[in-house]
Amino acid sequence: MIPTLLRLARVGWTLARYDVLFPKELTGRLPAAGRIVGQIARIGGPKVDGDIGARMSVALEELGPAWIKFGQFLATRPDIIGAEAAHGLSRLKDKLAPFSQAEARKVLSDAFVGDADRLFGDLGPPIAAASIAQVHKITDPDGRQWAVKLLRPDIERLIARELKGMMLVARTVELFFKASRRLKPVPFVETVGAALTKELDLRREAGAGDAFGEVVAYDGYLAAPKIDWTRSAQRVLVTSWVDGKPLTDPTALDGHDRVVTAQKVTRGFLAAALDHGMFHADMHEGNLIIAPDGTLFAIDFGIMGRLGANEQRFLAEILFGFLRRDYRRVAEVHFEAGYVPADQDVGEFSNSLRAIGEPIWGRPAREVSMGRLLLQLLDTTEHFGMAMRPELVLLQKTMVQVEGVARAIDPDHDIWETSRVVVERFIRRELGPEGQVRRVLGEVEAGLAALRKLPALVERLEADANRKR
């Protein structure tokens, strides 16, 4: 317990020094003790330009891997920390100094006892090092190049230790600050812990990357590296090497069509989400690599989003409704999906949606944000009794990120018109005659399945009745 408290003291002091714990923006709302501690901590503290989100991102980088990941998850929850802070946290640099070549070799030896030298040959030096893992490059005897991702030594123990501290903070906040309970700090930390645990098993990332590769191959807007299953394990992930430049490279798009590349980013994201119910939830420029032939690869599948059939239809109909300025239909979709309680007024809700949608029409494409519209939509639905749904919040956060990448490529990128082809295709397929027939057949099949269970149910009821006699 004492080591945990000491670590928490370090965390608190670091956050205070970076003007995060008792931020100057909230001085008027802080108790006297908080104002005094904040002023003392800021004396001689590091100077970081930007809002509280930007300052928090630098502080979390200093605190280490678990806190970096915590910040990344906070960036997906603008409903909890606010849109501005979430945007600042999205700039978290998930980079650390690499661990040694000897330690990398030990990771491989432990994972492939007796076979590491044969399978991995001459392991190159690390080419990228993040908070959880680092990447090396190898060339096999046939001349093919592969990327080898290795978990950091002892990262599991480090993450588990820091999660204990986070949980203690969450419980303390819930105990002493009743207003925080609606934000559910303890369940949020539990969610972060579960997600981090998944990231510590690279077999999960391999499965996600393989599935995503199949999904994006349907349209070809994006591509994904191939998984080498024979050389992947819990702490090792091997994928085909992507020969190209990340979009963080200022020269990456030289010689490429910027308009087409921006369209690939937007359509690739939406097609995967709408048509297949999964999306890459960390599509920043560093995770997008453009090959010499113009193929755009997505890499790093540690954070993936999932949508159920209802959420896919919900997203498509909302976007379609806004494209047609049919706010009544957008409102009805919320009620049909059960997102807004039935006791709310659909007409009033429709008028609120109109107030969101109408201001965007007639403005230049570069000034119209689909992601921010969805954020306003989530804010509005909360006033009408809709509970925040994590999958939709993650979707909105990723859409803002995708928009930012697309417009960095092409400043005049029109995300609405670019999306139209994907959205209208979904509407025709799922809500047209073919989709209606498919839904009816599904309902019939469900009904037949229920009928098949009926005799067994009757037998159980008769048996219960006989026992009670």
First to last CA, the chain: 58
Question: 73 to each of 68, 187, 290, 397, how far by Cα in Å?
Answer: 9, 13, 27, 11
- Distance from C-alpha of 430 to C-alpha of 274, rounded to nearest angstrom: 10
* From 94, 228, 282, 300, the catalytic residue: 282
Residue 163 corresponds to which tokens in the numbers above? 């999660």
- Distance from C-alpha of 15 to C-alpha of 199, rounded to nearest angstrom: 25
- Distance from C-alpha of 237 to C-alpha of 200, rounded to nearest angstrom: 11
**14: part of which helix (H) or strand (E)?**
helix 2-17
Residue written as token pair 């714990």 = 21
- Is residue 343 among the annotated active site residues? no
- Distance from C-alpha of 42 to C-alpha of 16, rounded to nearest angstrom: 7
Q: Are 235 and 107 in contact (CB under 8 A)?
A: yes
Backbone angles phi, psi at 119, to 5 degrees: -80, -30
Q: Which amino acid belongs to residue 137? A: K
- Distance from C-alpha of 14 to C-alpha of 8, rounded to nearest angstrom: 10
Q: Which residues are catalytic?
A: 282
